Amino acid sequence: MIKTKVIVTNGPSLKFNSVLKNVIRYSDIIRFNFSHAKEEEIINTISRIEKISEEIKKDVAILGDLSGPKIRIKRLSNNFNNVKKGDIVDICFNKKEDNIKEDSEKTIYLDYNLFDNIKKNNIIFYGDGELKFLVLDKYNGKVIIKALNDHTVKIEKGISVFGSEVNLEPPTKNDLKFLKFAVKNDFDFIAVSFVKSDKNIKQIKKITGDIEIISKIETKEAIDNIDGIIRESDGIMVARGDLGLHVGIAKLPITQQYLIKKCQEYQKPVIVATQLLSSMINSSFPTRAEANDIANNIFDRVDCVMLSNETAVGKYPVETLQTLNEIIENTEKFIESEENSNRINKINTKINKINQAISFAAVGLAHNFKTDCIFAPTQTGATAKILSSLKPYSNIIALTNSKKIRNKLAILYGVRAFPIEKYNSINEMINNVKKVAIQNKINKFIIVSGTPNKFGTTDTLKYIDLKS
């Protein structure tokens, strides 16, 4: 079983239960993009997911992705959707119907007034950079731009201005609406778009309760404030689409490396997203570059990789997931066969608490004695989180009575969660773990846990060999 977790995005491609069933088999978390989905459709799809999940006995967590303060195209002048290199296009900010220009003119209407943020010679990107414009001039509240390549333009697509800071921060009014919806419908994770500081996360936490918060890193401001953002978040997403536009594509690889190492330092999970297998939207076979990109993410020991359009609107969602799983599996096997016995020392980990020291010792024991797994009976998931951050060879099997906690662990590298009988003492807990081990034909293992009924502790480590 692979250790790196997989997030897929829901969309029209998953409308048939036969497809959704296979997607659930190959993934850990299903993402709903609140920029496009409607509440009723989301509820219906979650109901389908729950039924299939119960049928095939495979848990899958639910993630809601807030649209955030994305600047979007709300209207186009009549009969305008294709842009050719060299075309002159107007950007306007007045959304009134009666101000739309003649059909012959090419005008884009945005939902936010960027006039004061745009300067001559700025580069404006459409979508994830599929189309580039050069700013020629601006006057009378209108910006004149020139297309630098050919592409189709559609409403609701986002635009970004390279090198310009826009004073928009989450949560927007639309975000607040969907946050309440996510709480009401018991979502496991919320991804917050265009986070700029820890203040954004603190504000959202007042609404979300125990929903895990994933901060999407997409702007320079977020990178400047990354320490505070990581501390306040339950995980980080390297959202390479907008991030690549804001920092520049040449700086994106080193920015990704920086963010991954920061998350390892703070022992927080990291997700890498955008264009992992985008060629498979229309092809049943990936490019060699995509395969290498995925493998390099696994070498970096990211916790999760995420598919977007590949499963939302792609022609081959199941084949894409199978390909992704095969690349992950082969890369993880290579890592485990090549790495030396000092592997655990390569993870940048601060050990200044007892629970961290016990978890670190458990990972070392598991490696040296080649145990089948590390069992982590847990009431909050804290023990499993610490173990996962150390990226051990051994699989981590978290045992908990709470389905909610099991779903929250779906994001963590190397962690698989199963139910366990209730226990009230250390001895009772050990006996219950042994039952799980026997049922799953596991002979040699380590147990790392806290004191029963005492939340937030990790103070017990035990090595067991059922054959000795």
Tens digits of residue pLDDT in 65-107: 999 988 889 999 888 889 999 999 999 986 554 454 454 479 9
How far apart CA 347 and CA 66 sit, in angstroms, is 32
The yes-or-no answer to whether 5-68+169-336 and 344-465 have a common fold is no
Mean pLDDT of 136-143: 92
Radius of gyration in angstroms for the set of CA atoms belonging to the chain, rounded to a whole number: 24
Chain mean pLDDT for the chain: 91
CATH homologous superfamily for 5-68+169-336? Phosphoenolpyruvate-binding domains (3.20.20.60)
Beta bridge partners, 133, equal: 124, 147
pLDDT at 336: 85
What are the E-state strand segments in 184-303? 189-192, 212-217, 235-239, 270-273
How far apart CA 5 and CA 235 sit, in angstroms, is 13
Helix 198-208 to helix 173-184 angle (10° resolution) is 40
pLDDT at 457: 74
The one-letter amino acid code at 399 reads L
- pTM, 2 dp: 0.91
107-142: b (≥16 Cβ within 10 Å) or e: bbbbebebbebbeeebbbbbbbeebbbebeebeeee
Q: Residue 169, SS3?
A: coil
pLDDT at 345: 45
pLDDT at 455 over 80: no
How far apart CA 263 and CA 231 sit, in angstroms, is 9
pLDDT in tens, 387-398: 999 999 889 999
Mean pLDDT of 321-348: 78
Single out the residue of 372, 388, 380, 390 nearest to residue 433, CA to CA.
Answer: 372
pLDDT at 95: 56
pLDDT at 390: 92
Q: Residue 401, SS3?
A: coil
Structure tokens at 450: 């806290």
Give me the phi and psi of 128, to 5 degrees please.
-95, 20
User: Counting every residue, how long is the chain?
Assistant: 468
pLDDT at 371 over 90: yes
pLDDT at 165 over 90: no
The CATH number of 73-161, from 3.40.309.10, 1.10.1760.20, 2.40.33.10, 3.40.50.300, is 2.40.33.10
Q: Are 105 and 90 in contact (CB under 8 A)?
A: yes
What letter would DSSP give residue 261? H
- What is the torsion angle, in degrees rounded to the nearest 10, for the CA atoms of residue 383, residue 388, residue 390 and residue 395? 110
pLDDT at 350: 67
pLDDT at 320: 98
pLDDT at 34: 93
pLDDT at 96: 55
The model's confidence at residue 11, banded by pLDDT at 50, 70 and 90, is very high
Beta bridge partners, 444, equal: 465
How far apart CA 168 and CA 72 sit, in angstroms, is 13
What are the E-state strand segments in 84-201? 88-92, 107-110, 123-126, 131-139, 142-147, 151-152, 159-161, 189-192
The model's confidence at residue 342, banded by pLDDT at 50, 70 and 90, is very low
Mean pLDDT of 181-193: 97
Domain residue ranges in the chain: 5-68+169-336, 73-161, 344-465
Architecture per CATH, 344-465: 3-Layer(aba) Sandwich (3.40)
**45-54, 406-415, 445-454: range with lowest mean pLDDT:** 445-454
Give me the phi and psi of 24, to 5 degrees please.
-65, -40
Mean pLDDT of 57-70: 94
pLDDT at 341: 42
